[in-house]
Copies of this chain bind each other. A is one copy, B any other.
Amino acid sequence: MINKTAILLISCPDQRGLVAKFANFIYSNGGNIIHADQHTDFAAGLFLTRIEWQLEGFNLPREFIAPAFNAFAKHHEVFAQPLDAKWELHFSDTVPRIAIWVSRQDHCLFDLIWRQRAKEFIAEIPLIISNHSSLKVVAEQFGIDYKYISITKENKLEQEIQQLELLRQYKIDLVVLAKYMQIVSADFINQFPQVINIHHSFLPAFVGANPYHRAFERGVKIIGATAHYATPDLDAGPIIEQDVVRVSHRDEVDDLVRKGKDLERVVLARAVRSHLQNRVLVYGNRTVVFE
C-alpha cells in the first residue's frame, strides 16, 4: 500500500538530459519514484512530465520541496540553459474540495456523489450551487450545503460575485459544472480558473445550445460527450476526456438525451478523477492526461 506521495507536474522547453535530471532530484533526496511518465511535443519543443514519489523516506520535509525544486530548476550547472519551467507540486494526502454546480438534471450530480462516497476519487464535496431549487432535496439527502442562486441576464455579474464569495468561503479547489446550463463569464474564469465542464457533444461538433437536437437534425450515427476545462471561449477549452455511443434512425431526441446521460456521467467522472489525481497537464489549448 502506497500511502503518501508527492507529485510534480512540469512543462518546459525540451533539452538534453531532462529525464535523468528530474529523476536525480528525487533520487538524490532519497525519494522512491512510483510513477514517472513524460511526453515530448516535438512540434512545440516542449517537455512535459509527471513524477510521483513516496514521501516516506524522502529527506526533504514537504514544506521544503517546492523551494528546493525551485532552486534546483535555476541551477546553472545542471541545466544547459535556464529551465524556464512551469511546474506544480501536489501531495496525495491533500483532500481537494469540490463545488458541484447543477441546473435541473441530477444524473451527473448523483454519479459524482456516489463515486466520491465509493472512494473512486478522494475529495470533499461541501457545496452544491444551482440556478434552480429543484435539486435541493438531493443535497439534503447527502448532507451537502445547497445554495440556490438564480441567474437572469440582468443579475448574472452580481450573482457571480456571490458565487466567487461562496467558493472562497467554502475553500473550494475545483468547480465541476455538472450540467449547469448557464454560461460562466470570462471574468469569473479569470478569477477562478479551476473549472471542469461537461458538454453533451463530441466537441468541436455542436458547440453551444441544444447539441442533441442538432445531432438529431444532422442525422449523425454517433453522439458524444466532452469534459473540458472551462475557458472564456464557450466550449473551446482544453479537452480532458471524450467518449461516444452509437445511435440509429430509431433514436429520437429523447433517446439521444437518455443515451447521452450515460456518456456524460462517465466522461465527467473520468475527467474529474484524472484531475484530482494530478494527472492532467494543460499546455496551449491541449492536455496531456498521464496514465
- A residues touching B (Cβ–Cβ < 8 Å)? 2, 16-21, 23-24, 26-28, 32-43, 107, 110, 114, 118, 120, 141, 202-206, 217-222, 224, 238-244, 246, 248-250, 252, 258, 262, 266, 284-289, 291
Contacts A26-B20, A34-B40, A288-B249 given: A243-B222 contact, CB under 8 Å?
yes
Main secondary structure of the interface of A (DSSP, over half): mixed
CB-CB < 8 A to A250: which residues of B?
39, 291
Closest B residue by C-beta to A205: B205
Contacts A32-B16, A224-B222, A239-B220 given: A204-B202 contact, CB under 8 Å?
no
Provide a sorted-by-A list of 21 A–B residue pairs whose CB atoms are within 8 angstroms: A2-B42, A16-B32, A17-B27, A18-B33, A19-B26, A21-B27, A23-B24, A41-B249, A42-B252, A43-B252, A110-B110, A120-B258, A202-B205, A202-B224, A203-B218, A203-B220, A204-B220, A221-B241, A221-B242, A222-B243, A249-B288
CB-CB < 8 A to A222: which residues of B?
202, 224, 242-244
